Amino acid sequence: MRFVETLKPWNGRLNHVNWFKVMIRPFILFAYPSVLWSTTVYSLSIGWLIVLSESVAHIYRDKDTYSFSALGTGLVYLSPFIGGVLGTAVAGKVSDIIIRFMSRRNGGIYEPEFRLVMALPVAFSTAAGLMGFGWSAQERDAWIVPTIFFGIISFGCSLGSTTAITFCVDSYRQYAGEALVTLNFSKSASPTNPPLQSSASCFLLFVPNLMNTNVGDRRLPRPSILPLLRRLA
C-alpha cells in the first residue's frame, strides 16, 4: 500500500466480526471475575472523587467552617491534582518493579494477578484519606488538614484506577478494547451500583451536618447530589 493510499478517510473494514457480537461482548465480560473486580475498583475510584467534589464547596465556603472565597476553594484542588499525578506515577513505576520481581520468583513467567499487590496501598490510602477528610471537616480542623487528606484520596483513587485498567487489560489482552468499554460503562452507571451506594453512606457518616443550611430561622436543604446519594443508599 502506497503512502497516499493510507491517507484515505476510508480503507474498508479492518475486522469482519459480526457487529452484534462486538456490541454485546463488553456486557458479557462482566461474567469474567477479573473484569468484574476491575470495574468495581475503577467505578469506586472515580465515584469517590465525584462525591468529594460535590462536598468541597459546602465545606470550604461555609461561613461556619472556613469561609473560603470561590478562588480559594478552587485552589484547594491543587492537592488532589498533586496526589493524582503522584498516584499515577507510582502506580506505573512501582507496579512494574513488583511484577518484574515476582516474575523472576515465578521462573520468569508473568501472571496478571501480580498486579493485585497494588490493591493493598489502594485500600490503605483511600480508606485513610476518606476517614481523615470527613472527620477533620466535621471537627472543623485547620483547613490544611482536610486538604491534605483530599490529596491522599486522589492519590489512592489514581492508584486504584490505574491498577484496575492494567490488571483488566493484562488478564484478557485479546479483549482489551471491549474490556475498556466495560470499565467506562461501569463508571458511567456507578451511581446506581450497590458499591457506590454503600460508599456514599459511609461518607455521610462522617459529614452529617453538610446536608442543610440555615436561612433565617429555617433549615433548607442544599442543592446537592449528596441528598440524592443518601436516598439511594
**Banded pLDDT at 127 (limits 50, 70, 90):** very high
The reported pLDDT for the residue numbered 173 is: 84
Contact 51, 226 (CB under 8 A): yes
The reported pLDDT for the residue numbered 191 is: 53
Higher pLDDT, 161 or 92: 161
Higher pLDDT, 29 or 19: 29
The secondary structure of 101-137 as a DSSP string is HHHHHTTT---GGGGGGGHHHHHHHHHHHHHHHHHHH
Contact 184, 46 (CB under 8 A): no
Higher pLDDT, 6 or 71: 71
Instruction: Give the rounded percent of residues in the chain with a pLDDT score beyond 90.
Output: 19
Residues with Cβ within 8 Å of residue 96, at least 6 apart in sequence: none
The reported pLDDT for the residue numbered 190 is: 60
Residue 167 has which C-alpha cell?
Answer: 490488571
Say if residue 221's pLDDT is above 50: no
Segment 18-31 mean pLDDT: 83
Say if residue 220's pLDDT is above 70: no
Say if residue 226's pLDDT is above 60: no
The reported pLDDT for the residue numbered 213 is: 42
